[in-house]
C-alpha cells in the first residue's frame, strides 16, 4: 500500500467531540474507496449513522462486544482484514472503540498491550486505525495508557504527534516488569526432569476435568501445555516444573491456571509470541498459537529462570478438583502413571 500506517487516539468528552473526530475519519475513507469499518456500541452507531447520512451505507458497523472478545484473536482478525483489503488494492480504515468495562485487571493490561502491538503488527499494511476513548467516564489509568500506545492524537479532523507515545517493545517490557504472584500452596506440582508427553497430557487432562473445564477449552489447554513444555525442553534448561491450580476468588470468571518453569533465560528480542508471524517471514508460530488458545498468557524471564503462565477462564462455576489429584501436590510423570494404574486396579477389582 502507498498510504502510511496510522494509529490515532481520539479522546472525547461528549457527543460533539466524538462526532467531530470520528465522522471526518470515516468520510475520508469512503471518499478514498477504503474498506471502512466502525466498531462500537449501538448508541454510538446511531450517532454515526445520523451524522454520516448517505455515507453510512458504505461503512460496515460491527458490535464492539463481539469484536473485542480476545486480544490476540482480535489482533489476528483485524490484521487479516487489513491484508485482505490490501490484496484488493484497498486500505482498511477502522474506527474501533475498545471495551473496558467489567474486565479483570490482567485482561485490561493485555488489551493495552494489544494497542501497543498494533503499531508493530500493522506497520506495513497501510491501514488507518482510530481508537475513541471517553475521557470523562473511563478510569484515568486507561486514558493515560492510551496516550502511551498511540503515535498520534486526533482533534476533530486534525492529527498531531503524541509526545507521550512509547516504543511498543519498551511498553511491553514495562507491562511485564512486575513479578508474577506466587502460586498458591495447594498447587499441584509435576516435575518434568524427563518429560513424557503422553503422561503429561494425561495428568493435565485429569486435573482439568476435575475442574469442570469445558471440553473445547480442555483440548486447547492440552495443545498449549504441550507446546510450552516442548519449548522448555528444547530451548530451556532443567529442572522443568509444571504447576496447576484454580483461581475462583479473583475478579472475572473462574480460571484454571497452568504454568511451566524452566531454568533457562530467553533473549531480550525473543518476541514472546506477541505478534502474528507475517507471510514469508521467519517468525515462529508456536507461542503465538499458544496465545490464541489461552484466555491469557504471562511470561517472565530473568534471574536464571523462565515462567510461562497459561490462564483458561470458564463460566461453569467455581472449579473443584476431584479424584486422587485433589491430594496429589507433587508428582513426576512416573509417579502419576503409577497412581493411574493403581486407580484402575481398584476399579477393576472392586
Give domain limits for the chain: 6-175, 188-349
Going across the sheet that includes 128-134, the strands are 60-63, 35-40, 92-96, 128-134, 6-12, 152-155, 158-161
Distances in Å between the alpha carbon of 315 and those of 224, 249, 254? 20, 13, 6
Taking only the tens of pLDDT, the chain with its 350 residues reads: 568 999 999 999 999 999 999 999 999 999 999 999 999 999 999 999 999 999 999 999 999 999 999 999 999 999 999 999 999 999 999 999 999 988 889 999 999 999 999 999 999 999 999 999 999 999 999 999 999 999 999 999 899 999 999 999 999 999 998 999 999 998 999 988 776 788 888 889 988 888 888 888 899 999 999 999 998 988 888 999 999 999 876 666 788 999 999 998 887 666 788 888 876 655 567 899 999 999 999 999 988 999 999 999 876 544 454 444 444 556 555 565 565 555 545 544 55
What are residue 157's phi and psi, to 5 degrees?
A: -90, 0
Distances in Å between the alpha carbon of 218 and those of 82, 225, 229, 331? 32, 10, 16, 21
What are residue 23's phi and psi, to 5 degrees?
A: -65, -45
Q: Give the global pTM.
A: 0.87
Chain centroid to CA 11: how far?
A: 24
Total length of the chain: 350
CA distance 308 to 301: 9
Under a CB-based contact definition with an 8 Å cutoff, are residues 281 and 273 in contact?
no
Nearest CA to 21 out of 164, 159, 162 is that of: 159
- Asked if the domains at 6-175 and 188-349 fall in one CATH topology, the answer is no
303: left (phi over 0), alpha (psi -120 to 50) or beta: left
The CATH superfamily label for domain 6-175 reads P-loop containing nucleotide triphosphate hydrolases (3.40.50.300)
Topology (CATH) of 188-349? Heat Shock Protein 90 (3.30.565)
Residue 121: HSE in the Cβ half-sphere, 13 Å Cα cutoff = 27
According to DSSP, the residues that pair with 12 across neighbouring strands are 134
Nearest CA to 97 out of 9, 165, 160 is that of: 9
Is the omega angle on the peptide bond into residue 239 within 30 degrees of 0, that is, cis?
yes
For residue 256, what is the enclosing H or E element?
strand 255-262
Other CB atoms closer than 10 Å to residue 306's CB: what's the count? Answer: 23
Amino acid at each position: 500500500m502507498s498510504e502510511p500506517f496510522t494509529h490515532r487516539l481520539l479522546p472525547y468528552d461528549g457527543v460533539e467531540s466524538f462526532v467531530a473526530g470520528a465522522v471526518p475519519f470515516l468520510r475520508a475513507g469512503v471518499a478514498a474507496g477504503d474498506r471502512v469499518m466502525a466498531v462500537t456500541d449501538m448508541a454510538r452507531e446511531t450517532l454515526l449513522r445520523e451524522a454520516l447520512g448517505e455515507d453510512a451505507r458504505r461503512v460496515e458497523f460491527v458490535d464492539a462486544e463481539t469484536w473485542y472478545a480476545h486480544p490476540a484473536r482480535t489482533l489476528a482478525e483485524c490484521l487479516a482484514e487489513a491484508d485482505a483489503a490490501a490484496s484488493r488494492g484497498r486500505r482498511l480504515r477502522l474506527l474501533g472503540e475498545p471495551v473496558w468495562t467489567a474486565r479483570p485487571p490482567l485482561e485490561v493490561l493485555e488489551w493495552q498491550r494489544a494497542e501497543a502491538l498494533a503499531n508493530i503488527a500493522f506497520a506495513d499494511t497501510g491501514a488507518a486505525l482510530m481508537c475513541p476513548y471517553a475521557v470523562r467516564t473511563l478510569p484515568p489509568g486507561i486514558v493515560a495508557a492510551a496516550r502511551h500506545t498511540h503515535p498520534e492524537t486526533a482533534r476533530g479532523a486534525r492529527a498531531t504527534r503524541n509526545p507521550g507515545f512509547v516504543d511498543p517493545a519498551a511498553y511491553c517490557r514495562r507491562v511485564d516488569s512486575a513479578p508474577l504472584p506466587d502460586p498458591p500452596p495447594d498447587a499441584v506440582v509435576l516435575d518434568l526432569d524427563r518429560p513424557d508427553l503422553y503422561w503429561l497430557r494425561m495428568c493435565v487432562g485429569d486435573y482439568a476435568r476435575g475442574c469442570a473445564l469445558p471440553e473445547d477449552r480442555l483440548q486447547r489447554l492440552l495443545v498449549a501445555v504441550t507446546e510450552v513444555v516442548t519449548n522448555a525442553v528444547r530451548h530451556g534448561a532443567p529442572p522443568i516444573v509444571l504447576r496447576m491450580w484454580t483461581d475462583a476468588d479473583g475478579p472475572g470468571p473462574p480460571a484454571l491456571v497452568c504454568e511451566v518453569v524452566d531454568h533457562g533465560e530467553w533473549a531480550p528480542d525473543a518476541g514472546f509470541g506477541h505478534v502474528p508471524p507475517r507471510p514469508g517471514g521467519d517468525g515462529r508460530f508456536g507461542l503465538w498459537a499458544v496465545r490464541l488458545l489461552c484466555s491469557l498468557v504471562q511470561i517472565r524471564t530473568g534471574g536464571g529462570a523462565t515462567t510461562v503462565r497459561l490462564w483458561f477462564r470458564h463460566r461453569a462455576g467455581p472449579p473443584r478438583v476431584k479424584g486422587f489429584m485433589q491430594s496429589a501436590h507433587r508428582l513426576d510423570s512416573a509417579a502419576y502413571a503409577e497412581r493411574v494404574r493403581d486407580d484402575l486396579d481398584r476399579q477393576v477389582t472392586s
